[in-house]
């Protein structure tokens, strides 16, 4: 499409491209300028994208609020712990299912594939009953961190990727006398870096944005994460500046991650997409 295009076609093409770019970027600009706007007054502002003056009050209010600070802390706990535990466990299980030969392996594989078919809606209520009555996870980090230790779809992803690894390298390592754990960490892990990075990043995104579980297991607002906590701010007052600030705070860590790991974002989306 890079060569001939009529003048008319070119104009349509570029204007379409730019209109969509504006549609995608405009809300972000509004969000950032909104967070620096003084919107405590009821009087509607004349101008919604340029603040009359730069107002830091929203940020000051947010970061001097103990509850808000604990939301930030909880968000990081909910997001980082599952990245570490989940990535390790899913990689290990996926690798063993792909590369270790033992009786019943195929049966186990079928068993866990079948679990992917169970709709999350159905297990939501029974899981809640189990976690709250048997394990007493209400208002405890464990309600988020325990299920965060595994992900059936990530194990599947790892298993599929690990089957493509050459057997000879693993065998050679074992023959050379390296132990199983040494083989796993020194030989296997470096070979599966890409899917591990993708899994880690997407686990971070999923748990950073986790909503429903936090909502149902945490009664104490001090246990909320940012997404739930900031969400409650919407209804509390009509102060848009504060709400836009909440949106900014939710996005900043994800944005930083994106800037540094851009490649893995795109790769990850295509990896999960092509799996289906």
Partner 1 sequence: MKKKMNRNKLYDHIQGYTFISPAIVLLAVFVYISIVVAIYMSFNEVNLFRWTFDFVGFNNYKRIFTEDRIFKAFSNTTKFVAVVAPMQTVLALILAAVLNSKIRAQKAFRIVYFLPTLTSSTALTMIFMFIFSISGPYNTIGKALGFVQEATNWLNEPKFALKIIMCMNIWSTVPYYMTIYLSALQDVPASLYEAAEVDGANAVLRFLNITVPHMKPITSFVFITGIIGTFQMFDQAYIFSNGSGGPQNSTLTVALMVYQYAFSLLNDMGLASAVAIVLSIVIIIASALANKLNKSEKLYS
By C-beta, is 162 or 230 nearer to partner 1?
A: 230
Please choose, from the candidates 199, 206, 202, the residue with its C-alpha nearest in 3D space to the C-alpha of residue 227: 206
Binding residues for partner 1 restricted to 74-93, rule: CB under 8 A: 92-93
Among 66, 126, 167, 190, binds partner 1 (CB under 8 A): 126
> In whole angstroms, what is the distance from residue 52 CA to residue 102 CA?
69
How much is the CA Rg of the chain, to the nearest whole Å? 24
Binding residues for partner 1 restricted to 179-238, rule: CB under 8 A: 180, 208-209, 211-212, 215-216, 226-228, 230-231, 234-235
User: What are the b/e assignments for 188-209, b being 16+ CB within 10 Å?
Assistant: beebbeebbbbbbbbbbbbbbe
Q: Does 96 bind partner 1 (CB under 8 A)?
A: yes
Among 76, 88, 112, 141, binds partner 1 (CB under 8 A): 112
Among 88, 128, 141, 189, binds partner 1 (CB under 8 A): 128
Binding residues for partner 1 restricted to 37-76, rule: CB under 8 A: 44-45, 48-49
- Tell me the closest approach of the beta carbon of residue 117 to partner 1, in angstroms: 9
Q: Does 134 bind partner 1 (CB under 8 A)?
A: no
- Tell me the closest approach of the beta carbon of residue 197 to partner 1, in angstroms: 16
End-to-end CA distance of the chain: 29
Taking residue 109's Cβ as centre, other Cβ atoms within 10 Å add up to 15
By C-beta, is 169 or 234 nearer to partner 1?
A: 234
DSSP 11: H
Q: Does 4 bind partner 1 (CB under 8 A)?
A: yes
Q: Does 166 bind partner 1 (CB under 8 A)?
A: no
By C-beta, is 17 or 69 nearer to partner 1?
A: 17
Q: Does 260 bind partner 1 (CB under 8 A)?
A: no
User: Are 81 and 145 within 8 A, CB to CB?
Assistant: yes
Q: Does 20 bind partner 1 (CB under 8 A)?
A: yes
């Amino acid at each position: 499409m890079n060569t001939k295009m009529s003048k008319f076609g070119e104009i349509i093409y570029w204007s379409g491209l730019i209109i969509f770019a504006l549609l995608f970027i405009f809300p972000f600009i509004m969000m950032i300028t909104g967070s620096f706007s003084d919107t405590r007054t009821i009087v509607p502002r004349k101008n919604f994208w340029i603040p009359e003056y730069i107002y830091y009050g929203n940020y000051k209010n947010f970061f001097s609020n103990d509850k808000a600070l604990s939301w930030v802390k909880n968000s990081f706990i909910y997001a980082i712990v599952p990245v570490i535990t989940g990535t390790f466990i899913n990689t290990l299980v996926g690798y063993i299912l792909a590369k270790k030969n033992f009786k019943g392996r195929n049966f186990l594989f079928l068993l866990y594939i079948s679990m992917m078919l169970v709709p999350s809606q159905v297990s939501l209520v029974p899981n809640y009953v189990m976690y709250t009555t048997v394990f007493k996870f209400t208002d405890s980090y464990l309600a988020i961190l325990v299920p965060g230790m595994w992900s059936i779809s990530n194990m599947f992803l790892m298993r599929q990727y690990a089957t493509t690894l050459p057997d000879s390298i693993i065998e050679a390592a074992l023959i050379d006398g390296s132990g199983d754990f040494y083989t796993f960490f020194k030989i296997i892990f470096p070979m599966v870096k890409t899917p591990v990075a993708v899994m880690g990043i997407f686990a971070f995104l999923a748990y950073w944005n986790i909503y429903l579980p936090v909502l149902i297991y945490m009664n104490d607002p001090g246990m909320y994460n940012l997404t739930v906590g900031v969400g409650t701010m919407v209804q509390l007052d009509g102060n848009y500046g504060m709400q836009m600030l909440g949106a900014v705070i939710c996005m900043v860590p994800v944005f930083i991650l994106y800037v540094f790991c851009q490649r893995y974002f795109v790769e990850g989306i295509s990896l999960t997409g092509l799996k289906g």
